[in-house]
Amino acid sequence: MADQKLLEKINKLREEKNAVILAHYYVDGEVQALADYVGDSYFLAKLATTIDKENVILCGVNFMGESAKLLNPGKNVILADELADCPMAHMVEIEKIEQVRREYPDVAVVCYVNSTAEIKAHSDVCVTSSNALRVVKNIINKQIFFIPDNNLGRYISKMLPEKEFIFHDGFCHVHKSITKEAVEKAKEIHPQAQVLAHPECTGDVLELADFVGSTSEIIDYATESEAETFIIGTEMGILYELEQRNPNKKFYSVGHRQFCPNMKRITVEKVAEALETLEPKVIVLDEIAKNAAKPLQKMMELAK
């Protein structure tokens, strides 16, 4: 439980500094509890375009801060911890994009939002896990180079036979650690449970799932479902909101390694410090920002 005095300090600073606190479902429950808004990557990006506060404190990983800044360049976006970074965001190189563009001149480069601003600047359209299928379906190009996540790309490609996909080999180490064998074992222990998985999981795990979706889609599905027990195939931070909304349902994570060390860098103390100092601010160089905002804006358009 977060210290009461610290929470009071945060509430006071939030007012004084004209700030709003945004958090992703993977950060610690006590950070989610103090945030003004908690959501999946798409929700957080969309929200950034409507915020009327001067300072946005982002409790999540680097690419989320960059996306908020790109979509809302007039605001200060402050990271609760600037070292909280998503390894997947760095798993593709510009040279690779250029090589694929040379080989397939008609290709659309579709980048998962879990990517650096620099990679976005070299892409045509962005997607998140909740809108990837809809956005790619609405792209006119037939050939799609999907970066960096291999699993999400393959998952949506199965539902889009009219497209030709070129995949990349990026992955999320947290979701990759969830194995088919572990899901089968969890199902043996909880035979009545429904399996809910994030599309960053490997294909064999997704085949065992009753539902596949983004973090907020998993939460909505579990909340609306008649089932009472669920096996959760995504990062453990999501259990906080699942349990808040469904106190009478039971949630089990597949294993004990579903833990994103970067998301867990965010603490209540760091949120207080970020509010106090309004540092570190997200800075995206102008020449990158100009092009990196375009695929995010295109995503908003195609996701409608």
Q: Which stretch binds ligand SF4 (CB under 6 A): 170-178, 214-222, 225-233, 282-290?
A: 170-178
67 binds, among ligand 13P, ligand SF4, none (CB under 5 to 8 A by kind): none
Exactly one of 235, 236, 289, 295 binds ligand SF4 (CB under 6 A); which one?
Answer: 235
Residues contributing to the site for ligand 13P (CB under 6 A): 40-42, 61, 86, 114, 128-130, 172, 198, 200, 214-215
Min dist. Cβ of residue 226 to ligand SF4 (A): 29
What is the total count of residues that contact ligand SF4 (CB under 6 A)? 14
Q: Are 190 and 231 in contact (CB under 8 A)?
A: yes
87 binds, among ligand SF4, ligand 13P, none (CB under 5 to 8 A by kind): ligand SF4
112 binds, among ligand 13P, ligand SF4, none (CB under 5 to 8 A by kind): none
Q: Does 174 bind ligand SF4 (CB under 6 A)?
A: yes
Min dist. Cβ of residue 263 to ligand SF4 (A): 6
- Burial code (b: 16+ CB inside 10 Å, e: under 16) for 32-53 equals bbbbeebbbbbbbbbbbeebee
Min dist. Cβ of residue 63 to ligand SF4 (A): 8
Q: 34 vs 88, which CB is nearer to ligand SF4?
A: 88
Q: What is the largest CA-CA distance in the chain?
A: 59
Exactly one of 262, 268, 275, 284 binds ligand SF4 (CB under 6 A); which one?
Answer: 262
Write the DSSP assignment of the chain as a string of letters. ---HHHHHHHHHHHHHTTEEEEEETTS-HHHHHH-SEEE-HHHHHHHHTT--SSEEEEES-HHHHHHHHHH-TTSEEEES-TT---GGGGSS-HHHHHHHHHH-TT-EEEEESSS-HHHHHT-SEEE-TTTHHHHHHT---SEEEEESBHHHHHHHHTT-TTSEEEE--B--HHHHT--HHHHHHHHHHSTTPEEEE-TTS-HHHHHT-SEE--HHHHHHHHHH-S-SEEEEES-TTHHHHHHHH-TTSEEEESSS----TTGGG--HHHHHHHHHH--SBP---HHHHHHHHHHHHHHHHHT-
Min dist. Cβ of residue 200 to ligand SF4 (A): 6
Handedness of CA 54, 113, 33, 257 (dihedral sign): negative
Min dist. Cβ of residue 200 to ligand 13P (A): 6
Interface mask (CB under 6 A) for ligand SF4, residues 263-282, using x and -? x-------------------
Q: Does 41 bind ligand SF4 (CB under 6 A)?
A: no
Residues 74-103 close enough to bind ligand SF4 by CB under 6 A: 86-88
Exactly one of 32, 62, 72, 114 binds ligand SF4 (CB under 6 A); which one?
Answer: 114
Q: Does 150 bind ligand SF4 (CB under 6 A)?
A: no
Q: 14 vs 265, which CB is nearer to ligand 13P?
A: 265
Q: Footprint of ligand SF4 on this chain (CB under 6 A)?
A: 26, 61, 86-88, 114, 172-174, 200, 235, 260, 262-263
